[in-house]
Structure 1
Amino acid sequence: MSSWKNVYQKWDSFQKLDPSLKSELEKIKDHKVELEDAFYKELTFGTGGMRGVLGAGTNRMNIYTVRKAVNGLANYLLANRVNVKDRGVVIAYDSRYMSQEFAIEAATVLGAYGIKASVFDAIRPTPLLSYAVRHLGTVAGIMITASHNPPEYNGFKVYNEDGGQITPDEATEIIEAIEETENELTVPVMEQEEMEERELLHWINDEIDNAYLVELQRISRMEPEEQKQDKGLPIVFTPLHGTANNLVMKGLEQLNFSHVDVVEEQVKPDPEFSTVESPNPEEHQAFTYAIKQGQKSNASILLATDPDGDRLGVAVKNSSGDYQVLTGNQLGALLLDYNLAHSDPIVLKTARMLKTVVTTELGRAIADSYNVETIDTLTGFKYIGEKIRQFDATGETFVFGFEESYGYLISSFARDKDAVQAAVMACEMAYYWEKQGKTLLDALSDLYVKHGYYLEGMSSLTLKGKEGSDQIATIMDEIRHNPLTEIAGVKVEQIEDYEVGERTLLNEGAKKEAIQLPNENMMKFVLEQDSWVCLRPSGTEPKIKCYYGVRGETSADSEQKLASLKEDMDQIIHEIRSFSEK
């Protein structure tokens, strides 16, 4: 009998199996493909946590996979941190199916070890969890969320005592501790009532929110008197059925932005995200309702946050009177420039801007113009958070961090991307430029004229299940072992293989040099003409992603260069898949 069938039978015969999961197993017992996918492996715990489809099985998000992960985390903390039981762990959750239940399950596992759990009494955004770890001085944080994934997903993210996502080294040790848990079905838990009686379970109401809002007001670049003035900038905001409504609205209110319309159809938390195809502000369809409302109120800026409140999308009116959604790279460049232009020159002497290796090079050009050093990290905001922690020891000053996928951090009182900070700062920035007689698109155009027409894109290929996972591995292996020397007729100058941490300089006789970053399954090709291509499997979804970046003399020039890169890479990937299927 195959191993996955053994695991399935263990679950199916477990007398105390959760009734809803037992019912689901009964429904799929005759569907071999579904059963195999549910049990052929354990849900992967990556560098920040795990994310998967809700349901029965070891390869699904359910109370048993959550318990196993927390059991490993508890053992890791007790072995590697001090005063774990007293400092405890803070837990937050979003608006998805089972989020509150998973948060309580996590707490009850901690309780079995005598570890105090502080759990928010209602949904909260991810950046508030990051802040809460630091504010409360807990030993770790847990966020139950699947970010902007479809409704059938949920997830589990772990934060270290600094408030950042766990580092790769920490993740490795936690994974080892998780793997030592032999049976996910029999992980010990303490009943919620007993935890409350023994004061091991503390419910958090609004004390963390209020402390966060104090810090949020401090990021403003306006003078105190201007902060107090009423601002007539018309704003439309949608939390896309998620967690950010309360903090964004209060953050804008305390800076006296008084003309804010909330998209009523999307303000209520809804695990189905019933008014959008996908609750992802990166996708333009997520702005459909906000655009309709913006047209009615003649709004200057539209804001959309993803369900767990760590990503922000922004749309503004163009010269035709239509709303144009800014890319994550464009908004990041604008926020960076506004931030640096309004920073104390003394601060800028030790300032560092952080971005990922697949984020626009326009950010580097802007930082250079203010004599601010840019530091690249791997893809994922956890690496930006880790770098900020290093700055605490080196004396370097964090001034801004961003990634192309709509993640921004302005102040390091939180250590993960923060859509609340970004939303408030985006409105302040739009208000500033409006006083200068400009829109954010005008300000962006000025940056292009000054630094060049940078343009970026990303395409992804979804390949689900075990077969899809194998195809993704095949594509990466082929690209790695037969690296490209030309893409769309443009010569490759450098090949960067992040899995082995090595850069090959083709224009210097294939000279090798080390990449001083953690290892990750990613390949980047730096081309002539200030262009680049990067191929990377997603760490949270069954996708392989291809990122592109170009710099042209004009907008049309950039668009043509980008289209050529994409077309050629699509063909290359198609040929690899076709050959592997023969």
Structure 2
Amino acid sequence: MNTWEQAYEKWNSFQNLDLSLKKDLDNLRDDKKVLEDAFYKELTFGTGGMRGILGPGINRMNIYTIRKAVNGLANYLKVNCVNVNDRGVVVSYDSRYMSQEFAIETAKVLGSYGIKTYIFNELHPTPVLSFAVRYLGAVAGVMITASHNPPEYNGFKVYNEDGGQIVPDEATEIISFIEQTESELTVPFIEQGELENKDLLNWIGSEIDNAYLEQLKQLSKLKKEELEKDKVLSIVFTPLHGTSYDLVLKGLEQLSFPNVHVVEEQAKPDPEFSTVESPNPEEHQAFTLAIEKGKKVDADILIGTDPDADRLGVAVKDSDQSYQVLTGNQLGTLLLDYILSHSDQALLTNARMLKTIVTTELGRAVATHYGAKTIDTLTGFKYIGEKIRQFDSTGETFIFGYEESYGYLISSFARDKDAVQAAMMACEMAYFWKEQGKTLLEALDILYAKHGYFLEGMSSLTLKGKEGSAKIALIMEDVRKNPLTEVAGLKIEKMEDYATGNRTIFGDSTDQEKMDLPNENAIKFILEKNSWVCLRPSGTEPKIKCYYGVCEASKIESQERLALLKEAMDQVINRTIQHS
């Protein structure tokens, strides 16, 4: 009997198996391929938590894989934190299937260890969970979400006592405790009623929201009289069936934006995300209804958040009066420029802008222009949160953080990317530029004229299942064993292998130096003529991603260079797959 079959039989013969999962398992009895995928390995707990397809099996999201993860987390907290029981853990959840159930399961396991849990009484954004951990002085936070993944997914994200996503060292230790759990099917727990009777389960009402909104109001760069007057800016907003509806509307109201039009078809939570192909503001199709609404009301700006409200997409009018969706790099750099240009210049020498290794270099150019220093982190906002935590002891000042995948943080009262913060600042920025007689696209052109035409792109290849994981590993292995010497005719000046932490510098002689970054399975090639490419497997999806960046004198030249880089890297990946 194969290992997956043994795992399946263990579940199938478990007498107390949850009835709905038992029914699902019975329906899959004759589908060996699906059963193997559900049981051939345990669902991976990565650096931020775990994410997967809902259903029965050890490689699926269900109450048993949740209980096992929480069991490991509880033991980790007992060893590494003080006053764990009294400080407790904060739990939030989004609009997905089983989200609230998984939140309660988290409390049921924590309660068996005597650890108090705070759960929001309704779905809430991820950044508010981050804020709540700090506000309540909790030892950790848990967010039940799969972000913008398809409807069949859900996830379990863990936050440390600083309100940031757990980083690799923390994750490694939590994983070791998870692995010590004998069986996911027999993890101890306490029923909800008993938890509430013992004050081990506390429901969060409006207090956190009110405190968060007060912090949100402090973000504004406008003078008091300007802040309080009604602003002539037409806004269309869609929460894409997720968690941001109330807080975005209240935040815009307190910043005196009265002209806000909600995409009503997408206003209510919907685990099927039935009006979009993907509830991801990175995908332009997610703005289809918002664009229709924008044309009807002659909106200046369209804003859309993903289901757990940690990513923001923005669209604005172009010269043809059509709506153009800004890339994450473009919006992030515009926000950075607006913030720095409205900050006390004397304070910027100590200011630090944080971006990831695959985020546009235009941000560095803008920060340098204002006298702020740029620090690169690995991909993932957890690393930006970790840096902010370090600033608490070094005395450096966090000014802004962003990543190309539509994640932004303006103020560190939250320690994860925050679409609600970003929505407020994007609308204020659009209002500022409208008062100058310009759109955000025209503001972007000013930056390009000043710093160069930076352009970025990303392509991804989805390789699902056991075979797909093996192919992704093979691609990365091949690139390391047979390193590139040029890409699309451009010589490689440096190769940064984040798995080893080594930077190789090519020239008359080849030199190596260590990078001050954690290890991650990614490789970046810095090319001549201000170009670069980076190859990286996704940490949350069965994908391998390739990122590109160029800077030429014009848009056309940059587009042509970018296309050549993409074609060359596609050939590298396809060649490896064909030979496997």
Q: TM-score range by the shorter chain?
A: over 0.9
Task: Report what 2:128 is aligned to.
Answer: 128
Mapping of residues 303-314 of structure 1, within 5 Å: 303-314=303-314
How many residues were matched structurally? 580
Measure the CA separation in 2 of the matches of 1:70 and 1:192: 16
Structure 1 letter corresponding to 2:131: Y
Measure the CA separation in 2 of the matches of 1:20 and 1:553: 60
Contact 1:233 1:257 (8 Å CA) reproduced = yes
Task: Report what 2:157 is aligned to.
Answer: 157
2:219 maps to 1:219:
yes
2:135 maps to 1:138:
no
Deviations 1:441-460 (A, max 9, x none): 00000000000000000000
Mapping of residues 31-430 of structure 1, within 5 Å: 31-430=31-430
Contact 1:234 1:298 (8 Å CA) reproduced = yes
Shift of 1:506: 1.1
Measure the CA separation in 1 of the matches of 2:545 and 2:517: 20
Contact 1:71 1:187 (8 Å CA) reproduced = yes
Shift of 1:358: 0.2
Task: Report what 2:445 is aligned to.
Answer: 445
Task: Report what 1:477 is aligned to.
Answer: 477
Shift of 1:351: 0.3
Shift of 1:346: 2.7
Contact 2:238 2:290 (8 Å CA) reproduced = yes
Measure the CA separation in 1 of the matches of 2:297 and 2:205: 34
Moved over 4 A (4+): none
Secondary structure in 1 matching 2:236: strand
Shift of 1:330: 0.1
Measure the CA separation in 1 of the matches of 2:286 and 2:419: 16
Structure 2 letter corresponding to 1:226: E
2:536 maps to 1:536:
yes
Shift of 1:481: 1.0
Deviations 1:495-550 (A, max 9, x none): 11000000100125120000110000000000000000000000000000000000
Q: Which structure 1 segments of 5+ residues have no match?
A: none
Contact 1:235 1:301 (8 Å CA) reproduced = yes
> TM-score scaled to structure 2, two decimals?
1.00
Mapping of residues 563-578 of structure 1, within 5 Å: 563-578=563-578
Measure the CA separation in 2 of the matches of 1:28 and 1:485: 49
Instruction: Give % identity.
Output: 70
Deviations 1:30-84 (A, max 9, x none): 1111111000000000000000000000000000000000000000000110000
Structure 2 letter corresponding to 1:421: Q
Contact 1:360 1:404 (8 Å CA) reproduced = yes
Secondary structure in 2 matching 1:102: helix
Secondary structure in 2 matching 1:434: helix
Contact 1:522 1:535 (8 Å CA) reproduced = yes
Structure 1 residues 507 and 137, CA, compared in 2 at 3 Å: closer, same or farther? Answer: same
Secondary structure in 1 matching 2:507: helix
Deviations 1:197-242 (A, max 9, x none): 0111100011100000000000100011111100120000000000
More moved, 224-233 vs 61-70: 224-233
Deviations 1:418-473 (A, max 9, x none): 00000000000000000000000000000000000000000000000000000000
Measure the CA separation in 2 of the matches of 1:345 and 1:489: 42
Mapping of residues 2-21 of structure 1, within 5 Å: 2-21=2-21
Measure the CA separation in 2 of the matches of 1:106 and 1:328: 33
Shift of 1:347: 2.1
Secondary structure in 2 matching 1:185: helix
Structure 2 letter corresponding to 1:207: E
Contact 1:494 1:507 (8 Å CA) reproduced = no
Secondary structure in 2 matching 1:518: coil
Shift of 1:2: 1.3
Measure the CA separation in 1 of the matches of 2:14 and 2:510: 58
Secondary structure in 2 matching 1:507: coil
RMSD: 0.5
Contact 2:72 2:181 (8 Å CA) reproduced = yes
Measure the CA separation in 1 of the matches of 2:173 and 2:573: 35
Shift of 1:571: 1.1
Measure the CA separation in 2 of the matches of 1:206 and 1:332: 30
Measure the CA separation in 2 of the matches of 1:217 and 1:346: 24
Q: Which structure 2 segments of 5+ residues have no match?
A: none
> TM-score scaled to structure 1, two decimals?
0.99
Measure the CA separation in 1 of the matches of 2:394 and 2:365: 24
Task: Report what 2:525 is aligned to.
Answer: 525
Structure 2 letter corresponding to 1:60: R
Shift of 1:345: 1.7
Task: Report what 1:24 is aligned to.
Answer: 24
Secondary structure in 1 matching 2:310: coil
